[in-house]
Amino acid sequence: MEFNIAVEPASTWFADAVIFFAFKDSEEFLPGFSRWMATEADWVAGSSGLQDFTGELGSTTVIYGSSTSIPRVVLLGLGDKSEFGVEPFSQAVSSVFCKCRELKFRVVGVPLTAFEGIVLEDMHEHFVVAAMDGLYAYDEFKSKKEKNGTLPESVKLLTEVEPLETFVETIHKGQAIGAAVSYARDLVNSPPNIANPVFLAEEAKKLAKKYDFKFKALKRKDIIDKGMGAYASVFKGSVDEPRLITLEYCPKGREGDKPLVLIGKGVTFDTGGISLKPTGHIEDMKCDMAGAAAILGFFKALGELNPDLPVVGILPCADNMPDGLATRPGEVVTSFSGKTIEVLNTDAEGRLLLCDALAYSEQFEPAAIIDLATLTGGCIVAFGWSVAAVMDNSPKLEDLIIESGMRVGERFWPMPLWDIYKEELKSDVADLKNVGSREGMTIHAGMFLKEFVPENVPWAHLDIAGPAWRKKKTATLTAGGTGFGVRTLIELLSQIDLEDI
């Protein structure tokens, strides 16, 4: 779907339908809609369909007329004005574009005057991203594609006045972010026999070639030879080759500056290893690389937006499978940092990849580190499916992540990393054990990772186990990968000062 800005007199606007917005129980329509009806479409004001409109969040009313240039008007409900924000706005926009696809519209018009009276920061960016998100579908392996799956073909942003250059940039940014989120969703939704570690490395290599990033991928022997025993313990039982992927982005003039380092868990399928997961939804464990997918999506947007901030991505990727060579519960491994780990549960494998990646990141002299991982089921128990946990050693970084997430409709909430939790990780035979008790499991995972963060480096761990995956299809959004985290990371770039964390 393309977004085009059309600068034309209102009398010449053309589209299969135009979209206008309205709040619930509002005594008056938004000014842009009222003005357009009065000057260009008096037939809308006289329509009985106008009385059917409730303004409930996501509700739509289609008003049909006799005009050949604009034969339909779609009114979209934004819900209660007192509860309005980026999340309800995005939900509403996603729903109306689903409706446009259902009605087989090829060209959808959205007058810029339709946004008058809506107070929301970065509104046009959110509009573009939500429209793309609502129309997302994954049908790569369907022999019969959805008949109307490519509709709408274009969105015309209609205006009578030449827009500011900043508006054009906003639309471009929205498209870049929307494409990045869709890309991350595609990666998560891909079946594990396709999206294995080598596949992810190839995807990273393509991004590097297209956007001139530095790329490197360490193979099985490289990982073992470097002494990453914790990481290697995860892929010992898998026939799929692991890859430790690095991507480096550095704008001109920032060479030598300390980068923001992003680390993404890339377990392309998690059986639990010898500590085999119980049956029931184990097929969903292809989503255990959603952290790595989010970072690849982020780098795709990075290449389009070119922010003035150096960034390094580190993606430790592997399968966690049981076979005769797989790590057994009770084994002791030596991590890249030199610390020894008693592996009591092979299903707590994500922290074993991440701990070596965290220690490995020191060579990049990071200004700050953020890791993303679908790490613990305990996070879902604590927060449900819509909220991610943040644990960190930097209050400033924590605040930036939470605030950036709220600005784009992704929710994070802090959990403590107090020293009282260290006791749970003490081992009788090694420096650490990889699990504590069931109670507080999400915090224990964060405490474990904290032990491997380079000294004096601000760090935050994001447990995205819940919001990275949508178990059920909703009225507006498909089930599967969500691309959660991509938007927060992009927003963070515009907010963060790496010298003041």
CB neighbourhood size of 487 (10 A): 28
- Tell how far CA 370 is from the center of its chain: 14
State the DSSP code for 438: S
List alpha helices for 159-238, DSSP H.
165-189, 197-211, 220-225, 229-235
Please say whether the beta carbons of 453 and 370 come within 8 A. Answer: no
Catalytic residue among 81, 216, 258, 277, which? 277
Catalytic residue among 300, 351, 407, 487, which? 351
The question of whether 221 is a catalytic residue gets the answer: no
Task: Spell out the residues 6+ positions from residue 182 whose beta carbon is closer than 8 angstroms to its own.
Answer: 132, 133, 136, 483
Cα R_g (the chain), whole angstroms: 24
Instruction: Phi first, then psi: give them for residue 460, nearest 5 degrees.
Output: -140, 135
The question of whether 277 is a catalytic residue gets the answer: yes
CB neighbourhood size of 72 (10 A): 20
Judge if the upstream peptide bond of residue 152 is cis by omega within 30 degrees of 0. yes
State the DSSP code for 203: H
Residue at 138: amino acid letter: Y
| Cα separation values, 380 from 235, 276, 442, 465, Å | 26, 20, 9, 7
Category of 273 on φ-ψ map: left (φ > 0), alpha (ψ -120 to 50) or beta: left
Q: Give dist(CA 419, CA 246) in Å, integer.
A: 32
- Tell how far CA 118 is from the center of its chain: 25
For the annotated catalytic residues, the residue numbers are 277, 351
